[in-house]
Structure 1
Amino acid sequence: MTLPSFIIRHALLLLVLSVLKNLCGILQSVVTTPSLYSNLILVAMRTLPERMSPASDPVTMWTREEVLKRHQMRKEKGRMEEAVQKIGGRDCHTQLSPWTPSFEKVGCFPQRRKCFGEVFNKRYER
Structure 2
Amino acid sequence: MSFFSAVPGHHSDGPQLERVLEQVSVPRPGAGRPRTRPGHVLADKACTSVKNRRYLRRRGIRRTIPERFGQQRHRKNRGSRDRRPAGSGSERYKKHNTVERAVNRLKGFRAVATRHEKRAYIHLGTVTLAALIIWLRT
Note whether the superposition's TM-score is higher than 0.5. no
Looking at secondary structure, tell me which structure has more helix per residue: 1
Instruction: Please indicate the TM-score interval, normalised by the length of the shorter structure.
Output: under 0.3
- Structure showing greater Rg: 1
Determine which structure has greater relative contact order: mean sequence separation of CA pairs < 8 Å that are 6+ residues apart, divided by chain length.
2
